[in-house]
Amino acid sequence: MYKIQRIFYRSGCRRTIKTVATVEEAQAHCSDPETSSSTCKGRRNRERTYRCGPWFDCYTECRK
């Protein structure tokens, strides 16, 4: 199991947004351009960047 987290640069806030079963699913999520403030084009994500500053999604393996 892998948890996908959204990390905000300014605050250092780290929020788990999703849990997936495989590393391939986690990698697929994180390689989507909409999972980073520097590459997103979607309205909601651009608004999030305006409100919260730069952010990105990453993944880590869940502790057993």
Domain of 43, in residue numbers: 2-61
| pTM of the complete model beyond 0.85 | yes
Please write the tens of the pLDDT for every residue from 3-34: 999 999 999 899 999 999 999 999 999 999 99
Please write the tens of the pLDDT for every residue from 25-59: 999 999 999 999 999 999 999 999 999 999 999 99
Task: Tell me how many domains the chain contains.
Answer: 1
Residue with tokens 């989507």: 32
